[in-house]
């Protein structure tokens, strides 16, 4: 007769913080600087079932043809890694996602390894399950309220291993 509280209770989402844009951009610069200064020893983390990971994404600029680098949060879904195409929850699409739409081949760096991947947007059938995985982490970084700050649905980008 005893029913687990988790079976009947919905996941409670944290209220997203209201962070000024200048602070978001400063944090991004500091994060990349810490990564560079420590030779990659700090700045990335592995995904666990209770915490999103951080990876370093290398793309090719769609206009410049130059390498571009971003550090983004991710979850793991089998052999694939998944990240929301968000720009600190600001409305414009992140440049790295626009670059991947022009050229889906990319390289990702995790702690201790590099992977060549092909990026694509999650299909409408995949998206609800993947978004629920982000929500289940209970982080204020990934909530329905955060996603609602944007004028469009945030794409979930799937990085599939590339076999060359």
Q: Mean pLDDT of successive 10-residue segments in the chain (164 residues)?
A: 42 60 66 70 80 93 94 95 86 93 97 94 97 89 80 94 88
CA distance 68 to 39: 18
Domain boundaries along the sequence of the chain: 44-161
pLDDT for residue 7: 44
44-161: which CATH architecture?
Answer: Roll (2.30)
pLDDT for residue 6: 39
Q: Quick one: the chain helix, strand, coil %, rounded to 5?
A: 25, 30, 45
| Residue showing tokens 């414009």 | 92
Q: How many CB atoms lie within 10 A of CB 84?
A: 26
pLDDT for residue 29: 72
Two tokens, residue 25: 């951009």
pLDDT for residue 4: 35
Exposed/middle/buried for residue 94 (C-beta within 10 Å: 0-12, 13-18, 19+): buried
Q: How many CB atoms lie within 10 A of CB 135?
A: 16
pLDDT for residue 3: 38
| pTM beyond 0.85 | no
């Amino acid at each position: 007769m005893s029913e687990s509280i988790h079976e009947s209770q919905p996941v409670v989402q944290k209220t997203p913080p209201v962070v000024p844009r200048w602070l978001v951009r400063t944090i991004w610069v500091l994060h990349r600087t810490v990564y560079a200064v420590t030779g990659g020893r700090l700045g990335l983390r592995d995904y666990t079932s209770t915490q999103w990971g951080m990876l370093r994404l290398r793309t090719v600029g769609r206009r410049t043809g130059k390498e571009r680098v971003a550090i983004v949060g991710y979850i793991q879904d089998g052999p694939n890694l998944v990240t929301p195409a968000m720009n600190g929850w600001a409305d414009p699409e992140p440049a790295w996602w626009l670059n991947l739409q022009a050229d889906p081949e990319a390289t990702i760096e995790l702690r201790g390894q590099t992977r060549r991947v092909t990026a694509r947007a999650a299909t409408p059938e995949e998206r609800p399950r993947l978004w629920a995985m982000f929500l289940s982490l209970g982080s204020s970084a990934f909530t329905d309220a955060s996603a609602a700050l944007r004028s469009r649905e945030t794409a979930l980008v799937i990085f599939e291993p590339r076999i060359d």
